[in-house]
Amino acid sequence: MSLNTDATWLDRTVKAVLLIRILVGWVFLSEGIQKFLFPDSLGVGRFVKIGIPWPQVMAPFVGVVEIVCGSLLLLGLITRLATVPLLFDISVAIYSTKIVTLAKNGFWATLHEARTDVSMLLDLIFLLLVGAGAWSLDAWLAERRGATHG
């Protein structure tokens, strides 16, 4: 690869990581907020319906985790750490709303209903592996630490 091609590839990679971070952060931030705005359908009421234990505690807890960690992803701050609680969150969501209804809904209907959750799961794994990218507070802080300690 020529230097110009390498720079173009790197620029595209930086932008792609940013887009994934914005997508995942925005989805979790908005879902967390909606647990409080619409408690009957997306918060406590939903947790009761799908059988989550202690729904009056767990729905607000999950909402706060989604708001905080989604915001951290948007900022690119402690990105890898922020993905961990969200990986648990989305795994429970997939199990409690998709896997347990597989027999009732059938394979293809379940795949259709799970498409967003599976996309979020894979995007979180991606961010866990690659981090926040160059356009993030993580990168900015690492650069500052390097300049201070270098």
pLDDT tens, 124-142?
999 999 999 999 999 999 9
8-12, 61-65, 121-125: segment of lowest average pLDDT = 8-12
- Residue 53 pLDDT class (50, 70, 90 cuts): very high
- Tell me which residue range forms the domain holding 85: 3-149
Count up the domains in the chain and report the number: 1
**pLDDT value of position 14:** 86
The pTM of this model reads 0.89
pLDDT of the residue at 41: 97
Q: Where are the alpha helices (DSSP H) in the chain?
A: 3-37, 39-42, 44-50, 55-75, 79-97, 102-105, 107-130, 137-149
